[in-house]
A and B are shown apart, each in its own frame.
Chain A
Amino acid sequence: MSRVIVIGAGLSGLVAANRLAGKGVDVTLLTKGIGGLQLGQGSIDVLGYAPDRVTNPVLTLSAIASARPAHPYAAIGAEAVHTGIEYLKALLGDLLVGDAEANYQLPTAVGAIRPTCLVQPSMVAGNVTDGARFAIVGLRRLKDFHPKLVAENLSRTPLPDGGRLEARPVLIDVPARDGEVDSSGLTYARAFDDPAFRDRFAATLKPQLNEGETVGLPAVLGLKDRGAWKDLSEKLGHPVFEIPLPPPSVPGMRLNEALTALAKAAGVRIVNGTRVVSARVEDGVVKGVTMATAGAPREFTGEAFVLATGGFESGALAMDSYGTVTETLFGLPLQGLDDGPLVHGDYWSAEQPLFSVGVRVGKDMRVLDAAGAAVHPNLFAAGGIIGGSSRWAEKSGDGIALGSAVRAADSIVEELA
């Protein structure tokens, strides 16, 4: 068995590790923390805006791949994204639904409408449609969800397909636990795992609902119990959907826990420690990477390495006080640094070029230098470390993560064979 080292436990790292292990490869996943999935919305964004609202992500991303050669999708290709989507769905069973050809259009916690491709079943009923009637329900003790803000913005927004919906706010008070008035979404999610709590909640809410309404709730409907939302819906006698919140994101945690458990079950050895601080390269080939483990640093050797360390948010990319941007592990060459100032003062108009900086990759996800040659023959990249796009603005980060993780894993398997 060969040894592949995956660095990073975000979506791309976990998917790459799972895919490699599934193909019989001995994988070690190194991570500083527990990945960033619980910071995100718990759905899979493939392509949301280009710059207009996207209805068919996989089709539009093909267009982007042709029109923008520096975009990650140009290297990844629509086919890999498609494969990634199907792979993830199969891996997670009933935790994600949707297809590569269509975006859901879901309400957000400020009342905007966000396009996203794969969603958790608990979110599906929120897909906006003309004539829909939503009751947006907030909890007094949950400060990250304000039903009036959501309902009134939704109501005044023309829907993507044309048409309008009606949304009204409802505010109730059901404590998540005694003695607490400032409960996090996670505390509520743990409460929702308890059927007795769901009974209490339904009893309080039901009398306030009108016939024919679909109930929109903050995304706290259970952490361990995947059926909690459905049970609640039955108790209420209304369809129910969840709206993702800022961190801690419960839907994100569900994905994180599921993918991590799957990786472990597949035999991936996960070492959660300190940052990977250096790499050992001999004759241009990466031989090992070292973690600053307590006591003495620890090296992990392997035949191939997947750099799935994320972008600026995770510190994989950094800009120092002189404005110098580096990839902090290997010191890899970066794209996006030569097009003028990286940061500008206009908040609402154009994106900040800084956040499109990242490594270049080839179609096999090998990291490339400016001349297009592989920096190291056995170093691959996946996810947010890849430059060339503004992932949050486009809503493309998860699709990039999936497609690149699958391509990297498959390229490595081919190489090792």
Chain B
Amino acid sequence: MSDETKPGLEFAGHEFARASLDACVKCTICETQCPVAAVTPLFSGPKFVGPQAERYRNGDSVDHSLDYCSSCGTCTLVCPQGVQIAELNSQARAVMKADHMPLRDRLIGQTTLMGTMMTPVAPIARAALHNKPIRTIMEKVVGVHRDAPMPPPQGQTFASWWAKRPKPAKAATRGTLVFFHGCAGGYFEVETSKKSVEVLEYLGYEVIVPKQGCCGLAQQSNGLFEQASASVLKLCDDLRNAGKDLTIISSSGSCTGMLKHEAHEIMGVDDERLKDVGTRIRDIMEFLLDLHEAGELPTDFATIEMTVPYHAPCQLKSQGMGMPAVEVLGLIPGLTVVESGAVCCGIAGTYGLKKEKYEIAQAVGKPLFEMVKKTNPNLALCDTETCRWQIEQSSGVKTEHPIWMVHRAYGLS
């Protein structure tokens, strides 16, 4: 490794993932489930770039085809032997990019910055992002594909709404929760955050929303490990400031994953603060399911006669808890939830935004887009924001976070 390699790349985490390559017995299961290998010969597959190529890595990065890995994490999820394939790939890619990180990849990770800049000028920003000539220039200059789904700028941040809203009428009866909205939930998917806290308050919880930053996921997935590590630890401080031992709820599936395991397993962040937050954080649908299993979830839902497609995002599946949303939604009378059966929507965070990856991402998501259109052309459900934007853009079907349905069924909408 060159002497100029950024210190964020020297980590015990690399050894942990690297050591797991010993578990690979070449069974090919990961390759059969990889959504990128399924649509293009340019990617040799997770087994090839992961445990197989890792035995050859020492300093020089020579296998640039690795960059086609979208880091969806499906490979690690399906590996029967416990090889940390996706983690290996992410690490190897970060090393590969360390010396020549494209400007685009630096910018794309600055989700908080984007949000802060776009909110005050939301209508203009929104118009700009849908303006063909502007997008064409963006594609040429920055490398973001002209048709890639963009975050929808909102006129008010969640934090601002939270600060200004009146306190809930009902007193809390169940205790206190911390709400982690994430960048998207703070700037772009504000409605999702609002509905989330409204449901939690309806259930009798007091919700605290501390001042909070970015989990660093977009930076991490672009190989900016140093910045991402700093971001995630700062976020841990923010969340811990809200109070000791409180459960933290998130309605951003992928950010939850970053805190629960990715920051540690991919970047080797080994800090008490991360361990603390990582064990206390729950995805909101996971939390509702846990309540239900304990017999504590009110199930007096209104009937919603509807068949609706649901897609479990990769980064939710890789948390290894199954699909809590399907089970919770299954409690709503009249509602038929059809699991997509698709591996990945293709966006993989920022992967599908990139000029050179866009077509691949569209091909990856095609079976999902078709399934969604066929199942219900008016509504689809998905727990992660970038996936929602991708599905909506490519299928034309409005896509919401499952909590909207719960909100509706509790009569809160």
The short answer to whether A and B are in direct contact, CB under 8 Å, is: yes
* Chain A residues within CB distance 8 Å of chain B: 32-36, 38-39, 177-180, 184, 186, 190, 247-248, 253, 264, 269-275, 291-296, 298, 313-315
* Complex interface: chain B residues within 8 A of A253 (CB): 32
Name the residue on B nearest A257 (C-beta).
B341
* Complex interface: chain B residues within 8 A of A274 (CB): 82, 320
CA–CA, A385 and B67, complex, Å: 40
List B8-58 residues whose CB lies under 8 Å from chain A.
25, 27-29, 31-33, 38, 41
Q: A179-B41, A248-B28 are contacts. A294–B78 as well, Cβ < 8 Å? A: no
* Complex interface: chain A residues within 8 A of B318 (CB): 294
Name the residue on B nearest A178 (C-beta).
B41
The smallest C-beta distance from B19 to any residue of chain A, in angstroms, reads 15
For this complex, 16 residue pairs linking A to B, each with C-beta atoms less than 8 Å apart, are A32-B79, A32-B82, A34-B80, A35-B80, A39-B29, A186-B31, A247-B28, A248-B29, A248-B32, A269-B322, A273-B77, A294-B257, A295-B278, A296-B279, A313-B25, A315-B82
Is B261 in the interface zone, CB < 8 Å from A?
Answer: yes
Q: Are B38 and A190 in contact (CB under 8 A)?
A: yes
Q: Are A270 and B322 in contact (CB under 8 A)?
A: yes
Q: A33-B29, A39-B27, A248-B32 are contacts. A269–B327 as well, Cβ < 8 Å? A: yes
Interface size of B as a range: 20 to 34
CA–CA, A313 and B24, complex, Å: 11
Name the residue on A nearest B326 (C-beta).
A269
Is B319 in the interface zone, CB < 8 Å from A?
Answer: yes
* Complex interface: chain A residues within 8 A of B261 (CB): 294-295
Is B317 in the interface zone, CB < 8 Å from A?
Answer: yes
* Complex interface: chain A residues within 8 A of B321 (CB): 271, 273, 293-294, 298
Chain B CB within 10 Å, residue with most, of A247, A295, A296: A295
The smallest C-beta distance from A28 to any residue of chain B, in angstroms, reads 8
CA–CA, A33 and B85, complex, Å: 13
* Chain B residues within CB distance 8 Å of chain A: 25, 27-29, 31-33, 38, 41, 77-82, 256-257, 259-261, 278-282, 317-322, 327, 339
Q: A294-B257, A294-B260, A295-B260 are contacts. A272–B320 as well, Cβ < 8 Å? A: yes
* Complex interface: chain A residues within 8 A of B82 (CB): 32, 274-275, 315
Q: Are A294 and B29 in contact (CB under 8 A)?
A: no
The smallest C-beta distance from A278 to any residue of chain B, in angstroms, reads 15
Q: Are A247 and B27 in contact (CB under 8 A)?
A: yes
CA–CA, A296 and B279, complex, Å: 5
* Complex interface: chain B residues within 8 A of A273 (CB): 77, 319-322
* Complex interface: chain A residues within 8 A of B260 (CB): 294-296
Residue in B33, B78, B320 whose CB lies within 8 Å of A271: B320
The smallest C-beta distance from A401 to any residue of chain B, in angstroms, reads 16
The smallest C-beta distance from B221 to any residue of chain A, in angstroms, reads 16
Residue in A35, A177, A247, A272 whose CB lies within 8 Å of B317: A272
* Complex interface: chain A residues within 8 A of B317 (CB): 272
Q: A184-B28, A247-B28, A248-B28 are contacts. A33–B79 as well, Cβ < 8 Å? A: yes
The smallest C-beta distance from A249 to any residue of chain B, in angstroms, reads 9
* Complex interface: chain B residues within 8 A of A179 (CB): 41
Residue in A34, A180, A291 whose CB lies within 8 Å of B41: A180
Residue in B31, B41, B319 whose CB lies within 8 Å of A294: B319
Name the residue on A nearest B45 (C-beta).
A184
Q: Which 8 A-B pairs have the closest CB atoms?
A: A273-B320, A295-B260, A33-B80, A271-B322, A294-B261, A180-B41, A294-B260, A294-B319
Name the residue on A nearest B317 (C-beta).
A272
CA–CA, A275 and B78, complex, Å: 11
The smallest C-beta distance from A384 to any residue of chain B, in angstroms, reads 12
The smallest C-beta distance from A127 to any residue of chain B, in angstroms, reads 28
* Complex interface: chain B residues within 8 A of A32 (CB): 79-80, 82
* Complex interface: chain A residues within 8 A of B81 (CB): 33, 314-315
CA–CA, A180 and B381, complex, Å: 36
Q: Are A38 and B29 in contact (CB under 8 A)?
A: yes
* Complex interface: chain B residues within 8 A of A275 (CB): 82
* Complex interface: chain B residues within 8 A of A292 (CB): 320
* Complex interface: chain B residues within 8 A of A38 (CB): 29, 32
Name the residue on B nearest A29 (C-beta).
B322
* Complex interface: chain B residues within 8 A of A298 (CB): 320-321
Q: Are A34 and B322 in contact (CB under 8 A)?
A: no
Name the residue on A nearest B25 (C-beta).
A313
The smallest C-beta distance from B286 to any residue of chain A, in angstroms, reads 9
* Complex interface: chain A residues within 8 A of B322 (CB): 269-273
* Complex interface: chain A residues within 8 A of B281 (CB): 295
CA–CA, A43 and B25, complex, Å: 22
The smallest C-beta distance from A383 to any residue of chain B, in angstroms, reads 14
Name the residue on B nearest A267 (C-beta).
B330
CA–CA, A65 and B32, complex, Å: 38
* Complex interface: chain A residues within 8 A of B319 (CB): 273, 293-295
* Complex interface: chain A residues within 8 A of B41 (CB): 177-180
11 additional A-B pairs beyond A248-B32, A292-B320, A293-B321, beta carbons within 8 Å, are A32-B82, A33-B29, A33-B81, A36-B80, A248-B28, A253-B32, A269-B327, A274-B82, A293-B319, A293-B320, A294-B261
CA–CA, A179 and B39, complex, Å: 12
* Complex interface: chain A residues within 8 A of B282 (CB): 295
* Complex interface: chain B residues within 8 A of A315 (CB): 80-82
The smallest C-beta distance from A135 to any residue of chain B, in angstroms, reads 28
* Complex interface: chain B residues within 8 A of A186 (CB): 31-32
* Complex interface: chain B residues within 8 A of A34 (CB): 29, 33, 78, 80
Name the residue on B nearest A261 (C-beta).
B341
Q: Are B78 and A272 in contact (CB under 8 A)?
A: yes
Q: Are A33 and B78 in contact (CB under 8 A)?
A: yes
Name the residue on B nearest A313 (C-beta).
B25
The smallest C-beta distance from A193 to any residue of chain B, in angstroms, reads 12
The smallest C-beta distance from B407 to any residue of chain A, in angstroms, reads 24
The smallest C-beta distance from B68 to any residue of chain A, in angstroms, reads 14
Q: A184-B28, A247-B28 are contacts. A264–B339 as well, Cβ < 8 Å? A: yes
CA–CA, A190 and B278, complex, Å: 40
The smallest C-beta distance from B324 to any residue of chain A, in angstroms, reads 10
* Complex interface: chain B residues within 8 A of A264 (CB): 339
CA–CA, A54 and B257, complex, Å: 52
CA–CA, A298 and B317, complex, Å: 14
